[in-house]
Amino acid sequence: MISKLQYPSVYLPIFIVLWLGLFIDSRSMAQVLEYNQWMTSFIVLLCFAWVYRKATSKIKKLMVYGVGLALLGEMFFSLVLGMYEYRLANVPIYVPLGHSLVYAAVFYLCKERVVQRNKILISRVLFGAMILYATLWLVLDDDLFGFVCTLFVMYFLKKKRGNTLFFLVMYFMVVYLELLGTHYNCWMWPETWFSRISFITSSNPPSGISVFYFGFDIGCLWVYKQMNLKKWNRMKAIRELKRLS
């Protein structure tokens, strides 16, 4: 099956490194390894270099822009607003790199021919799974914050119909990442939103937190457009000609 895939060498290492890196940065491993967070950052940096080497020029640029945007976003949401907190009350170096790796993994996974041939079916299954996941999190763990975020995801998908598959895959990629990170105590979400709004309860992690990653994705694309206006306009013109023909 893997031999029929086009890009497993891109996204499979990302899945593995996310798990391995978060395991190494876990609270339990911190009792064994003195510099475990630096080890994770080094491993993720190597994975970033591997994926960057294999990516197209456009994705390479988006990955670089993504690191900068992710760093600013993490500092704002974690250190300033206190929406969540990392184990050492910092922003680990591997986190901004990881944001770009998540983006690349979703992009290349969605590009697989087998995924594209079945994208309508896959989108329907993932959409139903998303609703079920968020509802169970709400019922079983009082995750109002995550459920509201998922409602915003549903509204967002209604507006961005052409990219439904990408954002649904992103939703569950973030679920995978968040479940790992919170399980290993690499970071923690408070029981209420910002630990201040008591009536908006939250799970650890919230189910629909990927809506903030969507903002990251759109931000990366916006920066790319601004930095490559001529190329972007030429691509839009080609798409329009194809549509008209």
Burial 102-125 (b: 16+ CB within 10 A, else e): bbbbbbbbbebeebeeebeebbee
Query: Is the entire prediction scored with pTM above 0.85?
Result: yes
- Average pLDDT value for residue range 48-65: 94
Residue 54 near residue 48, CB atoms below 8 Å: no
Higher pLDDT, 239 or 65: 65
In sequence order, the 6+-apart residues with CB closer than 8 A to the CB of 23 are 29, 180, 184
pLDDT digits (tens, 9 = 90+) for 131-171: 999 999 999 999 999 999 999 999 989 887 778 999 999 99
Q: How far apart are CA 24 and CA 235, in angstroms?
A: 42
pLDDT digits (tens, 9 = 90+) for 94-108: 999 999 999 999 999
Higher pLDDT, 226 or 138: 138
Share above pLDDT 70 across residues of the chain, in percent, rounded to a whole number: 93
Contacts 24+ apart (CB under 8 A), 55-61: 55/10, 55/104, 58/224, 59/104, 59/107, 61/224, 61/227, 61/228
Q: What residues does 192 pair with on adjacent strands?
A: 201
Q: What is the pLDDT of residue 230?
A: 74
Average pLDDT, the chain: 91
Q: What is the pLDDT of residue 22?
A: 98
State which H helix or E strand residue 28 sits in.
helix 27-30
